[in-house]
Amino acid sequence: MTVSAPPGMSGPNGNGALDRIPGPVMMARGVHKSFGQVRALIDATFQVDEGETVAIVGDNGAGKSTLVKILTGAIQPDTGSLELDGTEVSFRTTRDSLQLGVTAVYQNLALADNMTVAENVFLGRVPTRWLRVDRRRMEKESAELLDSLAINVPDVRARTALLSGGQRQAVAIARAFRSGRRLMILDEPTAALGVQEGQKVLDIIEGLKGQRVSIIVVSHNLDHVFRVADRIVVMRGGRIVGSRRKEETTTADIVHLIVGTRE
């Protein structure tokens, strides 16, 4: 489970679709969710394949967040089912999904600022030795992990509060990567960042793809989506209205799907 060497280097870089094992990692079937009168999610059927990066796009209120929260167990669907690696699962809390290797990086609320980078990377799974927190191991392994993801952080013993927005996002992604080897969900990973920092985070996501992780990216930024995604899923009014492979679509096509001028 350690990350001593970057395994992605030996695998196919770039467009390695042929090399992937087919079959969905995560599958949501016929999921409905209402909040009072509001139907947030209507008959959503959605899948992510092994090693695939899927972007979910759509306007505000299209149901992206609801779908993502259901996939992590943060909220529960009214009807419908979830399958992870072909077996049906039901997540009562985010802890349940975490245990099965599904993690999410949410906007803004990912890190505990009062803790060090290393502590944040290991938060929730702090290693111990004879009941004692093994800080040395935590610091060593998080430095290695950050290195392997090409993330630059001055010192893993620095408080997270001292980091820039991009560095914080990177640390959050590193943590998710550590614990979410099956599926990583990134909710607006670049929204709060400047141009350069956003590019850096995209680089990290591309690095993750080299490590054969399945990824869901929720984003408003179509440039970013086209850069990292293999497939783009469009939502509107609580429904999934389209799914396109990146090679077979254009920005214009996706925009039309988002605003509903073409189905």
Partner 1 sequence: MVDSNQAQASEGPARVRRGLIRYRQLWALLIAVLLLWTYLSFASPYFMTVQNLTNIALQSSVVGIMAVGFTILLIGGEIDLAIGSTQALAGTMAALLIIQRELPIWAGVLIVLGMGLIVGNVNGYFSLFTKVPSFIVTLAMLGVLQGLAFVMTSGQTIGGFPEAFKVLGHGKVGVIPLPVIIFFSVTVVVQLVLSHTRYGVELYATGGNREAAELVGISVRRVLMLAFIASSMLCTLAGLVLSARLNAGHGSFGSESLLDAVAAVIIGGTSLNGGAGNTFGTLLGIILISTIKNGLILLGVDPFWQQVAVGALILAAVLVDKTIKGELAPGDLLPRLVRR
Q: What tokens appear for 245 in the block? A: 């492979």
| Nearest-angstrom CA–CA distance, 216 and 104 | 9
| Nearest-angstrom CA–CA distance, 205 and 170 | 9
DSSP state of 8: G
| Nearest-angstrom CA–CA distance, 6 and 98 | 23
- For residue 67, the tally of other CB atoms under 10 A from its CB is 27
Find the shortest distance in angstroms from Cβ 171 to partner 1: 11
Residues 180-199 that bind partner 1 (CB under 8 A): none
| Nearest-angstrom CA–CA distance, 233 and 249 | 11
Applying CB under 8 A, the span of 7-15, 75-83, 123-131, 204-212 interacting with partner 1 comes to 123-131
Question: Does position 84 bind partner 1 by CB under 8 A?
Answer: no
Applying CB under 8 A, the span of 46-54, 97-105, 189-197, 211-219 interacting with partner 1 comes to 97-105
Question: Does position 244 bind partner 1 by CB under 8 A?
Answer: no
Looking at this protein, which amino acid is placed at residue 172? A
Applying CB under 8 A, the span of 27-35, 51-59, 115-123, 209-217 interacting with partner 1 comes to 115-123
First to last CA, the chain: 44
Query: Which of residues 41, 110, 186, 215 is near partner 1 by CB under 8 A?
Result: 110
Q: Establish how many alpha carbons lie within 13 A of residue 78's alpha carbon, considering only the half-sphere containing its beta carbon.
A: 13
Query: Which of residues 33, 175, 212, 246 is near partner 1 by CB under 8 A?
Result: 175
Question: Does position 48 bind partner 1 by CB under 8 A?
Answer: no
Find the shortest distance in angstroms from Cβ 113 to partner 1: 6
Number of residues that bind partner 1 (CB under 8 A): 26
Question: Does position 98 bind partner 1 by CB under 8 A?
Answer: yes
Is the Cβ of residue 64 or residue 168 nearer to partner 1 in the bound state? 168
DSSP state of 15: -
Question: Does position 179 bind partner 1 by CB under 8 A?
Answer: yes
Question: Does position 113 bind partner 1 by CB under 8 A?
Answer: yes
SS3 string, 80-129, reads EEEEECCEEECCCCHHHHHHCCEEEECCCCCCCCCCEHHHHHHCCCCCEE
Question: Does position 94 bind partner 1 by CB under 8 A?
Answer: yes
The residues that touch partner 1, with contacts defined as CB under 8 A, are 74, 94-95, 98-99, 104, 106, 109-115, 119, 123-126, 128, 131-133, 157, 175, 179
